Amino acid sequence: MVEPPRPRLGGRGPALLAVAVFTAAVLAFGAGLVLLGVLPSPVPKAANAPAAPIPSPTPGPSKLPQSARFAKQGDCVLNAGTSREPDMILVTCMPDALEVLERLEGTVDIKQCEKITGYRYHYYYDSELGDKFDFVLCLRRRAG
């Protein structure tokens, strides 16, 4: 007895259907990203649409804040972090800013600040690269 031939699976129909479904999924995903604002819209704006506003310069620093790693005596710093995780940055010296009275290199011994006149606050940096990169800043709050 001869078995009848099996029906052939595959062919162009299922392959075209798979490509169409995949393309539709990619387009839907892209449209979702455009709607969420992750991707810019590929459709150009109308000619009569108002142009995007150009930001005007605002007063403030003209460069990114520098880390307190570069602070030296007479500079002022601000804690942009928290008391548990300080992020000290250099700022313009103004009333109530923290002024660096002394910078102690190669140590994290904050007790050395106690001998400095006017000392009230401190900040230290304990480098993972070795003691020669450690430092302590002995600070005071500037008079207001």
Which pairing describes strands 76-79 and 121-125: parallel, antiparallel, or unpaired?
A: unpaired
Closest to 91 measured CA to CA, from 118, 108, 70, 105: 70
Among positive and negative, which fits the CA dihedral 83, 74, 126, 107?
negative
Query: How far is residue 98's CA from residue 67's CA, in Å, rounded to a whole number?
Result: 14
What rounded mean pLDDT belongs to the chain? 79
Is the confidence at residue 73, as pLDDT, over 90?
yes
**What pLDDT score does 81 carry?**
85
pTM of this prediction?
Answer: 0.54
Segment 78-95 mean pLDDT: 87
Residue 5 maps to a domain: no
Is the confidence at residue 126, as pLDDT, over 90?
no
On whether both 74 and 134 belong to a single domain, the answer is yes
List the domain range (segments joined by +) for residue 91. Answer: 68-141
On whether both 36 and 82 belong to a single domain, the answer is no
On whether both 78 and 40 belong to a single domain, the answer is no
Domain count, the chain: 2
Residue 109 maps to a domain: yes
Residue 27 maps to a domain: yes
**What pLDDT score does 127 carry?**
83
On whether both 30 and 72 belong to a single domain, the answer is no
Q: Cα torsion for 26, 31, 36, 39, to the nearest 10°?
A: 80
Segment 116-144 mean pLDDT: 88
Is the confidence at residue 61, as pLDDT, over 90?
no
On whether both 108 and 72 belong to a single domain, the answer is yes
Tens of pLDDT along 18-60? Answer: 788 888 888 887 777 777 766 566 655 555 555 555 555 555 5
